[in-house]
Amino acid sequence: MLTDQHIEIIKSTIPLLENAGSALTSHFYQRLFTHNPELQDIFNMSNQKTGRQQVALFEAIAAYAKNIENLSALTTAVERIAQKHTSFNIQADHYAIVGHHLIETLRELATEAFTPDVEAAWTNAYQFLAGIFINREAELYQQRSAELGGWQGARAFKVIDTVIESALVKSFIFAPVDQQAVIDFTPGQYLGLEVQPTGNDYKEIRQYSLSDKPNGKSYRISVKREQQGVPGKVSNYLHDAIKVGDEVKLYAPAGDFFFIDRETPTVLISAGVGITPMQGMLETLAERKHNQSVHFLHACEDSTQHSFSQRTHELVSNNNWQQNIWYRNEDVQQSHVSKGMMDLTSVDLPTEKGNFYLCGPIAFMQFAKQQLLKLGVGESNIHYEVFGPHATL
């Protein structure tokens, strides 16, 4: 049980956490994978190499400590993490393992400051938070397995088609091996995909946005071949090795970023491969004959990297919607295409009543969000998705 005394102790350790910084979470992950290497089947080891996962975990721990008296402030973050956990098939017993290594990390790094009272406070605080996640994730697992076409855990799917969408993006269409129905999803959500690349000691699980409307029979994801920085182990494996007829394991659709029909104008803003959830939203809006205005805004390097360009133009034209495209490195003589960075001041947007959905690199979304705020868009009307470990814009 988390007592008032525990809460006061947790608050008193905030300076200790801030001084430790991401060194704390780096030590934690090193310890975790040394003692429990099997968890490398679950964690994204590419994010470990870039340091993004360590930073995300540190920010989550610090936020929990700072809001220990006001956990309602963390509701959105808890839901986002719980959704992501279900796409990794996280189970209750994983929390005990993680909790053990977290406490031992604090003991090893804090040394004299980690008194029995501090240990008791953090142990209880962790168990309290773990209970929240365990209960919410159990609800999500139960809900999805109970729905038509639903399931829990890994399910075998076969690749029934692949489509080259642009120079770096390829779509994969999956149908279940058991030939039964598949659960519907809300446009904007993602699938958890599990593969074991050739020569890899561990399985790899990644989340990819669903890039089409739900149909009850199959799923489509569209994957960018990651070549910058740390090459994408899974994305390159999918592009180079996975063919029609091959089998993969999928986890049920998840995610807290999705289109909600608020009966207001809708603005879809993306860059690069961030177009994938927007494409799913656009397909769905067209199928539903959405009766509000729709603006589709996209930025990418050039026309060779513009995924779904023909299909998007068709949907926008058929529904009398508005489309604006920016190519950073190419000048194309079309009325709706501009060269350079996305400039939202050049577009007539429904800034007062519209709902704005953002997806793309973090720097791009920060750039777009600041433009929207300057135009008078309310922050509560800006919704966004971050690929990989979460970050706040």
DSSP assignment of 348-373, as one string?
Answer: ---TTT-EEEEES-HHHHHHHHHHHH
pLDDT at residue 22, rounded to an integer: 78
313 part of a folded domain: yes
Q: Which amino acid is at 241?
A: A
Say which residue the tokens 């949907």 belong to.
Answer: 315
Q: Which two tokens stand for residue 336?
A: 């709706």
* Cα–Cα distance list, 311 to 188, 277, 378 (Å): 18, 14, 31
pLDDT at residue 237, rounded to an integer: 95
Q: Which amino acid is at 351?
A: T
215 part of a folded domain: yes
| Closest among 177, 183, 187 to 147, alpha carbons compared | 183
* Cα–Cα distance list, 135 to 65, 89, 95, 96, 132 (Å): 21, 14, 12, 14, 5
Q: What is the Cα–Cα distance from 180 to 149, expressed in whole angstroms?
A: 7
The string of pLDDT tens digits covering residues 200-218 is 889 999 999 999 999 999 9
Percent of the chain predicted with pLDDT > 70: 95
Q: Which amino acid is at 113?
A: A
274 part of a folded domain: yes
* Cα–Cα distance list, 201 to 2, 21, 75, 249, 292 (Å): 40, 31, 36, 17, 50
The string of pLDDT tens digits covering residues 59-114 is 888 888 888 888 888 898 899 999 999 999 999 999 999 999 999 998 998 877 88
Q: Which residues of 183-218 are buried (b: 16+ CB within 10 A; e: fewer)?
A: bebbbbbbbbbbbebeeeeeebbbbbbbbbbbeeeb
pLDDT at residue 50, rounded to an integer: 64
260 part of a folded domain: no
Shared domain for 75 and 13, answered yes or no, is yes
CATH number, domain with residue 33: 1.10.490.10
Shared domain for 172 and 104, answered yes or no, is no
Specify whether 119 is catalytic: no
Checking if the pLDDT of 229 tops 80, the result is no
Q: What is the Cα–Cα distance from 382 to 136, expressed in whole angstroms?
A: 25
Checking if the pLDDT of 55 tops 90, the result is no
Please identify which of the residues 137, 165, 204, 283 carries the catalytic annotation.
137
Shared domain for 13 and 133, answered yes or no, is yes
Q: What is the Cα–Cα distance from 382 to 324, expressed in whole angstroms?
A: 19
Q: Binning pLDDT at 50, 70 and 90, where does residue 309 land? A: very high
Q: Binning pLDDT at 50, 70 and 90, where does residue 388 land? A: low
Shared domain for 70 and 139, answered yes or no, is yes
Checking if the pLDDT of 289 tops 90, the result is yes
Shared domain for 110 and 67, answered yes or no, is yes
Shared domain for 22 and 140, answered yes or no, is yes
Checking if the pLDDT of 31 tops 90, the result is yes
Give 33's contacts (C-beta < 8 A, 6+ positions apart): 39, 40, 43
Count of domains observed in the chain: 3
273 part of a folded domain: yes
Shared domain for 281 and 379, answered yes or no, is yes
pLDDT at residue 88, rounded to an integer: 94
* Cα–Cα distance list, 67 to 72, 75, 375 (Å): 8, 11, 31
Count of Cβ atoms closer than 10 Å to residue 102 Cβ: 20
Please identify which of the residues 95, 141, 237, 251 carries the catalytic annotation.
95
Specify whether 59 is catalytic: no
> Average pLDDT for residues 255-273, to the nearest whole number?
95
Q: What is the Cα–Cα distance from 273 to 387, expressed in whole angstroms?
A: 10
pLDDT at residue 307, rounded to an integer: 98
Identify the domain boundary among 146, 180, 203: 146
Q: What is the Cα–Cα distance from 257 to 150, expressed in whole angstroms?
A: 20
Checking if the pLDDT of 308 tops 70, the result is yes
Checking if the pLDDT of 5 tops 60, the result is yes
Q: Which residue has the higher pLDDT, 18 or 258?
A: 258
CATH number, domain with residue 322: 3.40.50.80
Range in 57-61, 299-303, 350-354 the model is least confident about: 57-61
Give the up-direction half-sphere exposure of residue 296: CA atoms within 13 A in the CB hemisphere.
Answer: 28
Identify the domain boundary among 229, 254, 279: 254
390 part of a folded domain: no
Range in 56-70, 78-92, 127-141, 262-276 the model is least confident about: 56-70
Count of Cβ atoms closer than 10 Å to residue 166 Cβ: 21
305 part of a folded domain: yes
393 part of a folded domain: no
Shared domain for 204 and 304, answered yes or no, is no
| Closest among 287, 292, 321, 301 to 361, alpha carbons compared | 301
Shared domain for 133 and 168, answered yes or no, is no
CATH number, domain with residue 183: 2.40.30.10
pLDDT at residue 386, rounded to an integer: 78
Q: Which residue has the higher pLDDT, 388 or 334?
A: 334
Checking if the pLDDT of 317 tops 80, the result is yes
Q: Which two tokens stand for residue 262?
A: 């608020």
The string of pLDDT tens digits covering residues 357-385 is 999 999 999 999 999 999 999 999 999 98
* Contact between 327 and 189 (Cβ < 8 Å): no
Mean pLDDT (the chain) is 92
pLDDT at residue 253, rounded to an integer: 97
Shared domain for 111 and 211, answered yes or no, is no
pLDDT at residue 25, rounded to an integer: 85
Taking CA 94 as the corner, what is the angle to CA 88 and CA 100, rounded to the nearest 5 degrees?
Answer: 140
Give 273's contacts (C-beta < 8 A, 6+ positions apart): 168, 169, 222, 223, 224, 307, 360, 387
Checking if the pLDDT of 390 tops 60, the result is no
The string of pLDDT tens digits covering residues 145-184 is 999 999 999 999 999 999 999 999 999 999 999 999 999 9
* Contact between 307 and 222 (Cβ < 8 Å): yes
Shared domain for 126 and 20, answered yes or no, is yes
* φ, ψ (nearest 5 deg) of residue 357: -115, 125
Domain encompassing residue 99? 4-146
Ramachandran assignment for 216, one of left (phi > 0), alpha (psi -120 to 50 degrees), beta (any other):
left
Shared domain for 78 and 127, answered yes or no, is yes
pLDDT at residue 228, rounded to an integer: 65
Identify the domain boundary among 87, 118, 146: 146
Percent of the chain predicted with pLDDT > 90: 76
Checking if the pLDDT of 231 tops 80, the result is no
Give the up-direction half-sphere exposure of residue 246: CA atoms within 13 A in the CB hemisphere.
Answer: 18
* Cα–Cα distance list, 262 to 115, 285, 291, 355 (Å): 51, 12, 11, 8
